[in-house]
Amino acid sequence: MLRGSVPGGEEGGNEKATSRRAGPGHAAEGDSSLDRGGGKSQNRYSRRDTPRPGRRNGNLPGSDVSKRALINLLKYLLGFGLLAWVVWTNWKPATGQGLADALAGDIRLAPLLLAGTLYLTTVLLSFVRWYVLVRAQDLPFALPEATRLGLVGLYFNTFLPGSVGGDIIKAAGIARQQERRTVAVATVLLDRAIGLCGLIWLVALLGAVFWASGALQRLAPGSVLVLETITLVAVGLTVASVVFWLLLGILSAGWAEGLASWLQRAPKVGGPLAELWRAVWMYRCRGRSVGLALGMSVIGHIGNILAFYFAALTLTPAADLPTLGTHFLLVPVGMAIQAGFPTPGGVGGTEVGYGWLYARVGAAAAGGVLAALVQRVLTWILGLAGYLVYLRMRPRLPVAAETPAKHAAVALPETPPCEAATQRAAG
């Protein structure tokens, strides 16, 4: 090697390469090494390789933290600003009963206690559902640990913007305890997907029954179009999910990984979509466990709908509310709004959504807002209580188990059990 080919000699050339590899976090160390080499040439390399504020990948770490904090603050302001606005507009509306009239009446404790009990039951059932999905992949896991991680996830879902913050905490918690970390994270993603499918399937089933029996007209006279639209959308999504699951049975591992790579290229959402796809594909040979989890999801959503109805009865007479059957079609839409609205626990957007839904079926919007507020108080109490219980619980690490070599890889398996059985039968 020619020692004079790089200003400052061979040592200076190596230091220049080190400075390039080091990145923003080691720029100062690289610069000091170059300065010790002396000469203007070293300073020229130092200036070129050191990121400057405003350049791509050159922002200080604190700037990203400040940006995220500002975005979260704006989400809190948006949520509670909307909440204040919807309360103000429905306090004493020009027509119908307002929040002031409802709050001036009696508080019915029996429906309130029923609502709280149902919410607690559905939350605990969701922890069992996740536990079933984890054990379906032969991961060492205990139900108390599923409860512990589920409680902290519930807390973050309730008080942080968006509805997936708790899922991130659960995924991180279980991944630390498992050797097959990719599979462990996939259980959280699939649990979320099955929860959504259970909600859609419930609306499709009940909506189709109400429609076929002519009950939609009796549920909401004059607003049948709204309920028919909700039912049609749910039926369409249900059919699509069934076809999707059947197609998984004939999809090879190569095609599955190719689709994951294609999804990965999507801007911003590519990574989560690819991981969700891998999670779903991984469970295509666990039909019995998936079916059990789906059944628990449907039961849990029935409990959530009943809990909301009893929350509405806490301050509003039944005569002033939509019927219970109508709630089975309206509440799932409100739950979707709550899950998708980017504020802490969907605050503000949820109350606006339920007020709008009530108004669409001929009921007072204030009744929907008030029911959502009662539900909000219950979820806040449950979220805080769950976090306190989480702090008292100790982690239960899984018992070390022998991990087969085929489970050590993080990619999709080449031939899953169900596909291998099919190939043997064909042979």
* Least confident stretch, 22-36, 160-174, 324-338: 22-36
Backbone angles phi, psi at 68, to 5 degrees: -65, -40
Pick the more confident residue, 59 or 303. 303
Cα-Cα-Cα-Cα torsion 294, 329, 346, 197, nearest 10 degrees, comes to 20
How confident is the model over 219-262, as pLDDT tens digits?
777 778 888 899 999 999 999 999 988 888 787 878 888 888 89
Average pLDDT of every residue of the chain: 79
Beta strands in 33-130, from DSSP E residues, in sequence order: none
Let me know: does 189 contact 276? Beta carbons within 8 Å.
Answer: yes
Residue 330 CB-half CA count within 13 A: 33
Structure tokens at 33: 């090494």
What angle in degrees, to the nearest 10, is found between the helix axes of 181-212 and 287-313?
Answer: 60
Give the per-residue pLDDT at 298: 96
CA distance 104 to 302: 30
Helix (H, G, I), strand (E, B) or coil at 138: coil
CA distance 270 to 208: 35
Pick the more confident residue, 100 or 123. 123
Question: Residue 162's pLDDT band (boundaries 50, 70, 90)?
Answer: low
Count Cβ neighbours within 10 Å for each residue of 367-390 and write b for 16 or more, e otherwise. Answer: bbbbbbbbbbebbeebbeebbeeb
How confident is the model over 82-99, as pLDDT tens digits?
999 998 988 888 776 778
Please compute the mean of the pLDDT values over residues 274-279 and round it to a whole number.
Answer: 78
How confident is the model over 352-390, as pLDDT tens digits?
999 999 998 888 889 999 999 999 999 999 999 999 999
| pLDDT above 90 (res 126) | yes
CA distance 172 to 188: 10
Spatial neighbors of 427 by CB under 8 A, at least 6 apart, are none
How confident is the model over 401-424, as pLDDT tens digits?
444 433 333 344 444 545 443 343
How confident is the model over 301-311, as pLDDT tens digits?
999 999 999 99
